[in-house]
Chains A and B, each alone.
Chain A
Amino acid sequence: MGTGETARGELVPARTLANAGLARVGTDPRISQLVAAQQGRAEGLIEVLHRLQALDGYLAKASLRQVAEELGLPLGQVYGVASFYHLFRLEPPQGHRCAVCLGSACFVLGAAHLAARLEQRLGLRLEPSGGSANGPPGGPEPARASQGASQGARPAPGPGSPSPGPAPYLGGWSLEPVSCLGACGQAPLLVVDGALALRLPMGSPAALEARLDRLGLPQAPGCCAPGAWGPGLVRAGER
Chain B
Amino acid sequence: MHPFEYLPARNLTEAISALARHGDRARAFAGGTDLLVQLRGGRYELDAIVDLKRIPEVMELRLDGDGLHIGAALPCYRLYEDDSIAKVYPGIIDGAAVIGGTQIQSRASLGGNLCNATPSADGIGPLIVHSASAVITGTEGTYSVPVAGFCTGPGTHVLRQGEVLMAIDVPTPAPHFGAAYQRFIPRNEMDIAVVGVASSLVLNATGDRIESAMLALAAVGPTPIVAAAAAESLVGKAPTEESFREAGELAADASSPIEDMRGTIEQRRELTRVLTRRTLAQAAERAARNR
A interacts with B: no
